[in-house]
Structure formats: structure tokens, C-alpha cells
């Protein structure tokens, strides 16, 4: 995640074609206020469009957009749309304006989902490479992979605690549990220890995924919920894809598979953003 995104929002001052009428589109609705156009509904934390007094000049638009770690993706998109509100690029966004708070939630959900998708994919991608150092037979590997599917028996009751303890509390502790169990898995001396901590890691990752879906569904506007659920498919696929791509490094040494488990500890930095 870009550190600049967590310290201050993206601020852009630009000029666009003159328009004396308020923008009314699927992603932004303006209203007039003291000679300016401000946002009535839309994604910006701060927004003001000042119409040009001379037809030969352009309007001036000031806006702030903050999507944690994803300003590089949403910033250029909204900037292009401000230049042409009816652009076909609007089809990439939900059919109704989305609020700044919803974008912040989606940004955090993106990175959290990516991390837990990576954690949940590790065992299947690395077990064959770690079997030698774990002295695991093909039968041992099959039993371990099968046993790891019982993570759901832990995830379901833990997820239910979100109604009692709060969504964010369960999300934070489950995220920490997923990371810690994944890191400890990398220290496993045998398949039994690996299996125990991988069941815990995958259960925690499943819990995080379920709670994130609930949080997003509760936070995002009703007309944007289906779009938000579809958007979360991207980090899920990306997290699993990163894990699969890193398989190419496992031939470096016979303990390289452990490194892929250890690197997840850096994801704990996300907890600061979740707490905020």
C-alpha cells in the first residue's frame, strides 16, 4: 500500500470543458451553491467546480479522493470522467453514486481480502515442494489437504460472534490469527504441526472473508452492493494468483516454501488502517 495514501488524500486541481449546468450522472450529482457547483452525491471527500466566466476558458475543478491503497486506480478513472461525464468508462462504476466512506471501506476490504486469499492458497501450492523437508509421503499430503477443509467448522461459529462482539473486532482478531498461524506454519517440523496451524489459518481467513462481505454489504449504498461484491472478486483472484506466481521461486532452495509463509507477517501493517 502506498504510504502517501494513508497519510493524506489525493488532491487534484484541474481544468475541464465549460458547462453551465450541473452534472447529473450515474456516478456524480452536482448542486449549485454560491456560484459554484458542489457534490450532492458522489465519491469525493471534497468537491467544487467553478464555472468559467469567459467562454474561451475552462471550468476549474477541485476534488479530493481517497481510496486506501487504490488512488492510483480510481484517481485517473474519476479524473477522466470529470472531463467527460457521459463517458462509457462510467460503466465500470456502480449505477448510482457511491459515497467517500464506501470507497474507504472498499479500499481496505480489497487489501484484506487479497492477503487472506494468499494465505488460504499457500498450502495447496507449496505442500508438494515442502514434502521432502517434512518427510511427508503422498498419503500424508492427501490427508493433510483433506483435513484442511474442516476449517469451515471453526469459521462458521467464529463468524457468528460478529453479531455479539462487533464486525470490526472479529475482523481484526481473525486477520491477526490468519497471519500468525500462517507464519507459524512456515516453522512446522512435520505435517501434523503444519496441518493444525493451516486449519487455523484457513479458518481465520474464511472468517475474515465472510465478515468483510458483511461489512461491505452494510456500508455500501444499496444500488452499489452487487458491484461491490463483484469488485471483491478482483483481490481474491489476485491474492491466489500472487501465491501461484511465487511457486516459480520454490526451486531456489529446499526451504524456500517456508519463506512464502513468513512474508505474510508484513500484512499486519494493515491493522493500523482497519483501526482507523
Nearest-angstrom CA–CA distance, 239 and 182: 14
- Measure Cα distances from 252 to 13, 52, 170, 243, 248 in Å: 48, 61, 38, 16, 9
**Are 62 and 80 a contacting pair, CB within 8 Å?**
no
pLDDT of residue 1: 40
pLDDT of residue 85: 79
pLDDT of residue 66: 87
pLDDT of residue 75: 87
pLDDT of residue 18: 62
Per-residue pLDDT at 21 exceeds 70 = yes
pLDDT in tens, 111-144: 999 999 999 999 999 998 888 888 888 998 999 9
| SS3 annotation, 238-254 | HHHHHHHHHHHHCCCCC
Per-residue pLDDT at 156 exceeds 60 = yes
Residue predicted with more confidence, 152 or 85: 152
How large is the average pLDDT for residues 65-71? 88
Per-residue pLDDT at 16 exceeds 70 = no
Q: Which letter does DSSP use for residue 54 in this model?
A: S
Pull the grid cell for residue 161: 460472534
pLDDT in tens, 247-275: 999 888 888 999 999 999 999 888 776 66
pLDDT of residue 204: 97
pLDDT of residue 11: 56
- Which pTM value belongs to this model? 0.86
For the chain, the average pLDDT equals 88
Q: What percent of the chain has pLDDT over 70?
A: 91
pLDDT of residue 12: 57
Taking the CB of residue 238, how many other CB atoms lie within 10 A of it? 15
Would the CA dihedral through 3, 183, 174, 244 be positive or negative? positive
How large is the average pLDDT for residues 27-53? 89
How large is the average pLDDT for residues 70-90? 86
Name the band, by pLDDT with cuts 50, 70 and 90, for residue 4: very low
Instruction: Give the strands of the sheet with 10-16, arranged side by side.
Output: 10-16, 59-65, 46-50, 36-41, 29-33
pLDDT of residue 195: 93
- Helices 100-134/138-147 angle, 10° precision: 150
How large is the average pLDDT for residues 151-169? 93
pLDDT in tens, 234-249: 999 999 999 999 999 9
Taking the CB of residue 169, how many other CB atoms lie within 10 A of it? 13
Name the band, by pLDDT with cuts 50, 70 and 90, for residue 17: low
Per-residue pLDDT at 276 exceeds 70 = no
pLDDT of residue 7: 47
Amino acid at each position: 500500500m502506498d504510504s502517501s495514501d494513508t497519510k493524506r488524500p489525493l488532491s487534484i486541481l484541474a481544468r475541464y470543458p465549460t458547462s453551465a449546468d450541473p452534472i447529473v450522472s450515474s456516478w456524480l450529482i452536482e448542486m449549485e451553491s454560491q456560484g459554484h457547483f458542489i457534490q450532492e452525491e458522489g465519491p469525493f471527500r471534497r468537491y467544487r467546480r467553478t464555472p468559467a466566466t469567459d467562454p474561451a476558458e475552462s471550468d476549474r475543478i477541485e476534488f479530493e479522493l481517497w481510496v486506501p491503497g487504490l488512488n492510483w486506480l480510481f484517481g485517473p478513472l474519476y479524473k477522466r470522467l470529470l472531463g467527460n461525464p457521459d463517458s462509457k468508462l462510467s460503466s465500470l462504476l456502480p449505477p448510482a453514486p457511491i459515497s467517500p466512506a464506501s470507497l474507504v471501506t472498499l479500499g481496505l476490504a480489497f487489501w484484506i481480502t487479497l492477503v487472506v486469499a494468499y494465505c488460504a492458497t499457500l498450502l495447496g501450492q507449496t505442500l508438494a515442494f515442502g514434502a521432502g523437508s517434512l518427510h511427508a509421503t503422498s498419503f500424508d499430503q492427501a490427508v493433510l489437504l483433506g483435513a484442511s477443509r474442516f476449517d469451515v467448522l471453526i469459521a462458521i461459529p467464529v463468524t457468528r460472534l460478529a453479531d455479539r462482539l462487533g464486525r470490526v473486532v472479529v475482523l481484526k482478531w481473525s486477520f491477526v490469527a490468519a497471519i500468525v498461524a500462517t507464519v507459524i506454519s512456515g516453522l512446522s517440523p512435520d505435517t501434523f504441526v503444519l496441518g493444525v496451524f493451516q486449519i487455523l489459518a484457513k479458518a481465520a481467513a474464511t472468517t475474515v472473508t465472510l465478515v468483510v462481505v458483511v461489512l461491505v454489504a452494510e456500508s455500501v449504498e444499496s444500488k452499489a452492493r452487487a458491484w461491490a461484491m463483484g469488485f471483491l472478486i478482483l483481490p481474491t483472484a489476485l491474492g491466489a494468483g500472487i501465491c501461484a506466481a511465487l511457486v516459480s521461486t520454490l526451486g531456489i532452495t529446499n526451504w524456500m516454501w517456508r519463506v512464502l509463509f513468513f512474508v505474510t507477517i508484513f500484512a499486519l501493517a494493515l491493522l493500523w488502517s482497519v483501526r482507523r
